[in-house]
Amino acid sequence: MQDMKLVRRVCTGVALCSVPVTTALGCSSTDSGSGGPPDGGAYAMMALDGGQADAATVETGWASVEAGADAGRGDGGLFAGVGTGEAGTEGGGALCSADVAAITPEQIKTFTAQQVVALGTNIRCLSDGALGALSGNGNVVLGQIAAITAAQVVVLTPAQIRLLGATGAGGATMTSKLADLNSGAWAALVQDSTQVAAITAAEVPTLSTDKITALGANIKFLSDGALGALSGNGNVVLGQIAAITAAQVTALSPHQVSIVAAINNDAGISFLNTQAFAALSAAQIAVLTVAQRASLSPAQHTACGC
């Protein structure tokens, strides 16, 4: 096995790993000294902080890779081989990286947002425990889940989405923190009708109104339980039902409209915004009960003729 000199320059804020430069997420500077990986390709070493690298060692709390060590595996470093063809591909191949699968919940908690992104599509290889340990957003800071990219979220199964940040105190499984996904990741997720159908009634109240609107016509794939969990208006804030668009209303079946109408003691349909209410079809209006129609405003009675 040929020796390889350690890379002199590193990507600041990215987890320690060794990968081909084509998948190194921008780390492409390698030592120009003699020697190289056995396959003749160039490698880039990435470290938590540029200040941690010197001519001899790149070291983190997990592992150190000494100059002259096999750069493809290092000395067993946590990210050795991540994103390579050795155990799985960065492009979402069928095989998983054993190194990513071995990341523990305790280790994942130490990852920065950049490190989560650096996992690439191998995020799908994280254990259930590691997915559950990902952090959600705090009062003033974004968590790890907010760093997940659109390309990463689409490789996760519905079951894995349910695990995002879902490990609570004492290891108890709580409601996922999928609401903390960034807007790009959310848009990519809800393009998949299977993923929308898997959203639970417990998760719906955690979603912002923007995320309800972003469901688009795929709102029709929400389960009856999830639709029934949509919120009405509060005393000073508009709820999720008010965020439903006219285009979304037309995607709902009469049965689904009846579920929304039953929310808040049969007042649910009255929370639709003016454009969405006007988009109700005759078939949808026909399913409204006497109690549900009684919740409508005079303007809504006029609009529906009911």
174-212 residue pLDDT tens: 999 999 999 999 999 999 999 999 999 999 999 999 999
- Asked if 10 and 30 touch (Cβ cutoff 8 Å), the reply is no
* Mean pLDDT score of the chain: 77
Q: Which residue has the tokens 């689904």?
A: 256
The answer, yes or no, to whether residue 255 has pLDDT greater than 50, is yes
The counts of H helices and E strands in the chain are 17, 4
pLDDT on residue 82: 52
73-105: per-residue pLDDT in tens? 333 345 544 543 333 333 445 588 899 999 999
pLDDT on residue 2: 34
Total Cβ atoms within 10 A of residue 200: 16
Q: CB-side exposure of 300: number of CA atoms within 13 Å?
A: 21
Q: CB-side exposure of 237: number of CA atoms within 13 Å?
A: 5
Domain extents for the chain?
1-81, 89-189, 200-306
The answer, yes or no, to whether residue 259 has pLDDT greater than 90, is yes
- Locate 145 and state its tokens: 């889940």
pTM for this structure?
A: 0.73
pLDDT on residue 35: 37
Residue 46: band (very low, low, confident or very high) from pLDDT cuts 50, 70, 90: very low
> Average pLDDT for residues 49-53, to the nearest whole number?
33
For residues 242-271, one letter each, b for 16 or more C-beta atoms within 10 angstroms of the residue's C-beta and e for the rest, the string is bbbbeebbebbeeebbbbbbbbbebbbbbb
pLDDT on residue 19: 35
**Across 5-19, 90-104, 212-226, which has the greatest mean pLDDT?**
212-226
127-146: per-residue pLDDT in tens? 999 999 999 999 888 999 99
The answer, yes or no, to whether residue 71 has pLDDT greater than 50, is no
